[in-house]
Each structure stands twice: as structure tokens, then as C-alpha cells.
Chain A
Amino acid sequence: MTEMLDSRKHIGSITGGGLKENLHVRLEVPPQEVQEGSFIVISSRDWIFYGIATDLQLQALDLRYALEPSRSRLPENLAGLLERQTLFTNLVVLPSLMLEQEPSDPQALSAWRKAIEAHEREEPRPQPVKSIPTHHADAFLASAGDVAEIFGKPGEEGNFVIGFTREQNHPVCVNLDKLIQRSSGIFGATGSGKSFLTRMLLAGLIDRNRASVLVYDMHNEYGLDDTASDTGENVRGLRSAFGAARVQVVGVGASAAIRGSMPDFNLVLGYRDILPEDVELLSQELNLKETTPTVLEALVQTFGRDKWFQAFKEMRRGALVEGEDGKKVPAPDSVAFWANQHGVNLMAAEGLHDKLRRLFNRPYIIENPPSDSIQAVMEALKKGKHIVLSFGGFESDLDYLLISNLLTRRIRAEWEKLTNQFRGGKGTEPRPLVIVVEEAHKLLNREMAAQTTFSTIAREMRKYYVTLLVIDQRPSQIYDEVMSQLGTRVCGWLGDEDDIHAALSGLAGREALRGMLARLQPKEEALLLGWGVPMPILVRSRRYDNFFWKDIKASRKSGLDQEQVIKRLYPD
């Protein structure tokens, strides 16, 4: 602890504040030496308080000292002396954690240690702030030891260096075990480095191998090597880095090629895979009418859940034949014929058929796929492989919504089944799974959230070993109920006030953090927030380059077996 104190940089002392209005530190160093977002440590008697700098304010003992420059009336040295005593900077610190310090007196320290060993008192650990430091308590910029004390030591099991503190470059870790225990989010405007942050976190998750990862890679960014749009440099993909034995790229469509490279296998849907609920989820995208559920219900009633799609696809729209009386009547294989036979509104049925033509024509939906590729994806995930589902040329919202929903629905059902079997004593514990959802607002917006499987996963699938990693540039478009379930949030720069508000929803001290989020560097800076991190902290994100991959390779691999991993992740 003494070493830690020595390595801290003293910046000032507490002059006021409170838990609600934050703490006020009078700076004794030039304001430029402390920036918004700095990790601040306050030593007050037996306690250390940890917080984050949220504001810097120029203040004067008397306003006239600030308004009338003393250098015009006094020589340089006297003016300097006067300014040092009358003009100052007030640093506002949002306190987050407090930690009891070990006594400095050797005798007291010995007694203190004995009490801990005898379980008469608890080993001190950081706890949410419940009190405040005293007046004139010393404030410091955190040392590397402080950062490690709170965010974990870089080499330790489960810790992943996501970035560095802004001023002093101390490594900041995210605990990957905690990250995947609940759903998480990565937010940031376009160009704020979201994709790089995601790549790094995914690399960390895959490397630690705590859970299987399924990435819905709408823009084909994560699996194979890519070229950075701004620097033109090569960006290593996850499969390229980890090899096909650990990461498999799945392409949508039978002859999918991802930027000229062949995927490990292809995802092709059979007609029987498409269920009415999959179509209903596309209501907005396909502009379906409110009569759609009724028509779909009639189709299922007529042809069954497995065959309705094929049957409906094969019907002809507007086909007529000559009747016995010589008049034109609907052909037996027409939509109108079926509608008339089953008492379905003709206009509604034909309208739905017209609109579903976009689905009928998708090349990745065929009558008899050579294998059940959805099952293959799930089997790979169960075996501990990681899947990057690249949409290849199928980058439209329709493709993304349909495939991701359909696949997630199946996964949810499978993992629920596995969990229930396990709890019934009939199977092994399911492998934890993280589903990575890009452009999450398309699936988790207010209208869709109630219907999609994703919101269910965000809300309750933790119990079934499945969590989400949501990636989006418009968090305000994501349904509040889903946002409130996100444990860890990694926020890059957000320009829109509503997005900032949404990214901070449900967090303590959000008013203080709001300005900080708005003033992040447009690139390579992120604010870590939420349940998965001990306290909010601003980091300069790590660079996704060769050094990153060297570090990943050099990092200590997990020595835990699958059972131990699960016990650690889900102790209850």
C-alpha cells in the first residue's frame, strides 16, 4: 500500500461535496494535468475512495481576482503569488468505490492481519461508496497499482486489457467471466471504433474460451481478414487468427463466398424451417397488413407447420382456368382457390403472397437442403467452437432479420431443452453461449423487441446459459427494457443526446457521466460502465494490431476444465 501511495501523483485536496453532488477537489497542479474521466484516488484516514473526474471548473476566491488581470497592476512575481492563492481549479469527482486501508503502524497492522486470519473481520475489498472522505483529504491521480486493485491485474485469470487510462497509460482490464454472465452492449457512432473494440473483446472471449461465441456478422467484418477503411491497413479476422479448429466462418447461401474466400460451411434454410412467427417478425420490413396472422394461421391449419411455406410458395397468384360454364375461375393451384376454399379473405391472401415473394425468392431458402445447417451450427457451438455467421452478399435488413431470428429461436429452444435436461439430472451442463448481435436496434427496437427471441434472451436467458453482446450505433432505438438488462456497457463517442441518455440509462451518476460521453474523442476512447465493471472509467482503447495478437498469444491460457468454467460463471 505504501508503494502505491508513493507512485501516485498528488493533485490536490478535498474542499467539499457529497455523495449526491459529487466531491470537490481543489487542484494544486495545472488543470491540464487532470482531464475529464481521470481515475482519482482520495486517501482519507483509514479509507481510500475511488472515483472518476467528471468536471473541471475555474474558480476565484473573489470574482474580481478573475475579472481583473493582476498582471496589469503588479509585477510578474507578485501577480504570480496572488494568482496562486486566489485563482484555482475545482475538480468534480464522482465517487464510486471505497476500500479500507491497512494500518500504517506495524503493531496495529499485525493485529489487523490476525483479526482477518481469525475471520473476526473481513478482508477489505472495494465496495460501493457509502460515505465520503474528510475535508482536506489528499487526492491523487491513480497509480497502476490502484487501477489493478480495482479493475484486476492484467495477467490474472479472466482479465482482459481493453485499454489504458487517459493520462498515465495504466492498463485497464475487463473481467471476461463477468462480462458474459449478463448481456452486454458496445455502443458508439459510426467510425468511433466499435468494430475494433468488438473484435478485441471477441478475441479475448475466444482466447479465454469461457463460452462459445456466435457472431451475426452482417457486414462480413469479423471472420476473415479485412482492410481498415481509414488507414487501409490489414485487419486480422478471428478465424485467420485462431484457425478453423476454433473459429468457423459460416456463409449464408449454398454458394456463399466471403470476399472471394470460401466459408467453412454454408447455412441454407429449408422451407420447413420457416415458421409463421418468422414471417410476422418481418411485418415492418415487408409492410405486412394486420390480416397477416389470420392468413398464416389458415395456411398452417391447411398444410401444417412444416409445409405451409412450400405450399404457399407454390401457389400461383391470379391463375385462372375455364370453368364448366365457360367462365374464368381460380385455378386449383392458385392463391384465390385456396382462399375461397378455406374462407380466407382473398385480398389478404393474395396481398400476403405478393409480399412474401421477396422471401420465396431468397436463394438460401430451398426445398431440400443437403443437411440441417442450423443444427450443424448448434452442434459446433455445443462442442465449444465459435461461429462467425457472415451474411456475404445477403446484407439486406430482410436477410439479417430473418436469419438471425430464425437461428436464435432454434438456439433458444435447444439451450432451454439442454438446461432443463441438466436440471432434471439427465444431461451435462450446457456450454455458455454469447450471441453477438450487430445493428441490434433492427432486432431490439420498441416494435420488434416484444416479438423477437433476442429480448427474451436479454431478459432471462442468463438462466439458460445464453447472453447477448449487443453492438449498435443508436442505443436510443433499442427498447428500454432490453437496455436495462445490459450488464456491461462499452460506449464509444455518441453524438446524439438521446443515444447518450439511452447508453447511461439505469446507471448511478449518469448526469455526471453524460458530458463525458459527449466529449469522448471520436476515435479510440471508450467509457466502460455498468454491472460488469467495478466503476465507470474512461479508457483509451487498445490498438487492434500485431502487438495485440502477440499479447493474446503470450497470455496465459485457461487451466480450467469445462465444469470449473461453468461453476465460476454461474455459481448459483
Chain B
Amino acid sequence: MEKFVIGRLLRSNTRQCVVGCPPSQPFPPFGSLVVIPLEEDQAAYGLISDIHIDDDGLVRQLVTTPAVTEAVIQDNRQNRNVPVEMTVLFVGSRSGGKISHLLPPRPPLSLDVMHLCGEHDLMEFTASGQFAYLRHIFEAQDAPATDLLAAHLLQAGRAHQAHGRPDWLEQACARVITMLRSDYDRLLPVLETLADAQRELAQAAGERMEKRP
């Protein structure tokens, strides 16, 4: 399993957590699937639903300075003590190797490590069950659900497409329709956003084809 450590947990509750990482470190994009190992053979899965960069006194002073040199900017970014904060919306868990789309049994603890899921993990989690994890996105109170969904489906769809499952995205869209079909006002904007994601995916697939010798 390929896993990249992203950061450590700052705070959490049953539905979501916030993870911090140094600003110098590359951090995953919005909508990425991440995993936080819990005790024993358990783990919590989540989607990055928000990325937050706080200010501090020095930054506040610097933004008012007429000319900030590149050295100052790099110093601020490399050596700053204020972390980049990522909000993670829990969408499932794993226990004894079995993936569940229920919320983790308990939230992770402070300073637990969070990893970015690789393509294999992403495909395994998203292909398990009947897309029940998508409901956590729609139920999220503070997250931009439509864009989070689009970002996630785009990433997961790309992974599935690259591994010979081009129909996964269509199945996911069908499931989204099933979940939201009784809410016309909400479903149509979601589908329009998914249409954009689909277009991007098709474009990316086309580019890959062109690059092939």
C-alpha cells in the first residue's frame, strides 16, 4: 500500500477532523481521499473538504509592506510556525481489512498521522459497496458539498478510468441522482457540476491518448 504522510491531527469529532501540516510541505488537493490509522487494525477514511491557511502577526505586517522580497516570502513559507490546516470529512472506516461506509467508530486522537490514499486505496474504497459513502458529503453542514463531490468524483473517476473501469463514474452519477432525485433544486446544480467534471475527465483521457507513442 502506497501511503504518503500529510500531517498530524489537530482536533476531531465524530464527523470530521482537522489536520495540520507545515506550509513548506506539499499538501493534497481539495477532495482527496485520506486515511488516518486508528488503534489496532482500524482506520478512518475521509475527504479533504477544506484547506485553511491562517495568518499571524508577521504576515499581517508583511502584507502592508510596499515591497516584500522573494527571500522574505520564502522564509515566511519555509520557516513559519503556523500550520496549513486541512478539514477532513469522514466518509468511512476500515476494520480488520473490511471497508465500511459508516462513520469511524471513534474519532482519531491528537497528533495521529494522516496519509494520502494512493490510486489502489482510492479504487478499493470507492468500489466497495454501493456508493453509500456519498451521503456523508450531502449531509455535511459546512462543506461545499457540490464542489467536494465533483472534485472527489473527478479524482476517483480518473483512477478507475486509468485502471479499465470507465463505467465507474456513470454508476456514481446514477447513485447521486438516486440520492437527490426528490430534491430537484439541489440535484440539477450538482449534475451540472458533475457534467463539468466529466468533461475534464474526458479531456484528460484525450490528452493521455495523444501522448501515447
Contact = CB atoms under 8 A, between A and B. Distances in A.
B194 A78 contact: yes
A85 B184 contact: no
B182 to A, nearest CB: 7
A216 B41 CA distance: 92
Interface in B182-205: 182, 184, 187-188, 191-192, 194-195, 198-199
A75 B192 CA distance: 9
Nearest to A82: B177
Given A85-B177, A85-B178, A78 B184 contact: no
A411 B193 CA distance: 84
Contact of A75 (B178, B181, B187, B198): B198
B170 A77 contact: yes
Interface string A57-86: 000011011000010011101100110011
B184 A74 contact: no
Contact of B181 (A73, A77, A86): A86
Contacts of A82: 177, 181, 187, 191
Contacts of A73: 188, 191-192
A363 B187 CA distance: 85
A77 B172 CA distance: 13
A120 to B, nearest CB: 46
Contacts of B59: none
Nearest to A63: B184
B175 to A, nearest CB: 10
Contacts of A75: 195, 198-199
B173 interface: yes
A276 to B, nearest CB: 78
A82 B178 CA distance: 9
B172 to A, nearest CB: 10
A81 B182 contact: no
- What is the interface residue range for chain B against chain A? 10 to 19
Contacts of B127: none
Given A81-B174, A85-B174, A85-B177, A74 B182 contact: no
Given A62-B184, A73-B188, 15 more contacts: A61-B181, A61-B182, A62-B182, A70-B188, A73-B191, A73-B192, A74-B191, A75-B195, A75-B199, A81-B170, A81-B174, A82-B187, A85-B178, A85-B181, A86-B181
Given A73-B188, A73-B192, A85-B174, A78 B198 contact: yes
Interface string A122-135: 00000000000000
Contacts of B187: 82
Given A73-B188, A85-B174, A78 B181 contact: no
A70 B181 CA distance: 13
Interface string A31-74: 00000000000000000000000000000011011000010011
A77 B192 CA distance: 12
30 contacts: A61-B181, A61-B182, A62-B181, A62-B182, A62-B184, A64-B184, A70-B188, A73-B188, A73-B192, A74-B192, A75-B195, A75-B198, A75-B199, A77-B170, A78-B173, A78-B194, A78-B195, A78-B198, A81-B170, A81-B173, A81-B174, A81-B177, A82-B177, A82-B181, A82-B187, A82-B191, A85-B174, A85-B181, A86-B177, A86-B181
- What is the interface residue range for chain A against chain B? 10 to 19
Report whether over half of chain A's contact residues are helix, strand or loop; otherwise say mixed. Answer: helix
B173 A65 contact: no
B137 to A, nearest CB: 18
Contacts of B174: 81, 85
The 7 closest A-B pairs by CB, nearest first: A62-B184, A81-B174, A85-B177, A64-B184, A75-B195, A85-B181, A86-B181
Contacts of B177: 81-82, 85-86
Contacts of B182: 61-62
Interface of B: 170, 173-174, 177-178, 181-182, 184, 187-188, 191-192, 194-195, 198-199
Nearest to B177: A85
B156 to A, nearest CB: 17
A74 B188 CA distance: 9
A65 B182 CA distance: 10
B195 A74 contact: yes
Nearest to A83: B177
Contacts of A64: 184
A362 B177 CA distance: 81
A9 B184 CA distance: 33
Contacts of A81: 170, 173-174, 177
Which interface residue of A61, A62, A70, A81 has the most chain B CB atoms within 10 A? A81
A77 B195 CA distance: 9
A78 B191 contact: yes
A296 to B, nearest CB: 79
A82 B170 CA distance: 11
A64 B188 CA distance: 11
Contacts of B173: 78, 81
Contacts of A78: 173, 191, 194-195, 198
A13 to B, nearest CB: 16
A116 to B, nearest CB: 43
Contacts of B188: 70, 73
A551 to B, nearest CB: 50
Contacts of A62: 181-182, 184
Contacts of A74: 191-192, 195
A74 to B, nearest CB: 6
A74 B187 CA distance: 12
Contacts of B191: 70, 73-74, 78, 82
Contacts of A77: 170, 198
Nearest to B189: A73
B16 to A, nearest CB: 29
Interface in A66-120: 70, 73-75, 77-78, 81-82, 85-86
Contacts of A70: 188, 191
A65 B188 CA distance: 10
A527 B187 CA distance: 46
B187 to A, nearest CB: 8
A78 B188 CA distance: 11
Nearest to B169: A77
A206 to B, nearest CB: 60
A73 B178 CA distance: 18
A86 B187 CA distance: 11
Given A81-B170, A81-B177, A82-B177, A65 B195 contact: no
B90 to A, nearest CB: 28
Interface in A520-568: none
Contacts of B198: 75, 77-78
Contacts of B199: 75
